[in-house]
A and B are shown apart, each in its own frame.
Chain A
């Protein structure tokens, strides 16, 4: 019994080691789980960046889409932009939300770097962003044809992230 008690510190050390090791391994501690998964996309009525017409939630439904929240003030959005162009080239429907941004700047950006979006909703005050629980652009939502949010990714889209998302996206088709 005495001998066994001597091993307690070692066992505690080992347990803490495992806990900290797992903690270190968690890739991105800043991305929080979204409570919106499985819920309908929030209602909106917003102008479109490209031509100013007004769209509503009904326009989003019908076919699955990647809904990408971006802004010209967001450096990571620039980093992921060429990958979005590539995805659009593969026929994936991407809807943009131009979050807390200026329409003119957004138009210039799309002209300069290409426009992978089916259309861009202009959300200058971040109202739709707040409904979506956006706290750090870029954020991307997978929305199915019924308008239900299926998944969310915080941070840039890149081939590695897309590898895990595309299965889910494929399942929505």
Chain B
């Protein structure tokens, strides 16, 4: 009986998401996963090449706490991201939205790819042009050079 109680207690323990030594308890393991995913997808505004999960900057810790707090209030992932974007700008998202001013960002690689294909096609077309036959004059010069070569080899 004691073992059963222990087992029940063990499996009913809350889950923790641990980031940078700080424990964030969650009732639902799914929420813990959501939290970890958000911390992965949000960017630290101070140390610009790290996400909230990787960064140990104080502001990253504050933002992680805020994400946790908002999640405890029952906010959805989108609402959490919007909250931070409203204050810190699109920069906090690793995945920028598709808008008029981000058109070059999203379309740039496609444009470069198309340019590359165009360049390749142009080069190929040039190479595939048949080599024109020698004119009579060129043929005569070639023959003269050949016979000179023969003479030099024979002498």
Binding site for B on A (CB under 8 A): 1-2, 5, 8, 30, 32-36, 100, 126, 129-136
Contacts and interface: CB of A to CB of B under 8 A. Distances in A.
A67 to B, nearest CB: 15
A35 B85 contact: yes
Interface residues of B, number: 19
A2 B126 contact: yes
30 contacts: A1-B126, A2-B126, A5-B122, A5-B123, A5-B126, A8-B119, A32-B89, A32-B91, A33-B89, A35-B86, A35-B87, A35-B88, A35-B89, A35-B90, A100-B58, A129-B62, A130-B62, A130-B66, A130-B87, A132-B87, A133-B45, A133-B87, A133-B88, A133-B89, A134-B59, A135-B45, A135-B46, A135-B59, A135-B88, A136-B59
Contacts of B91: 32
Interface of B: 45-46, 48, 58-59, 62-63, 66, 85-91, 119, 122-123, 126
Contacts of A34: 89
A63 B61 CA distance: 35
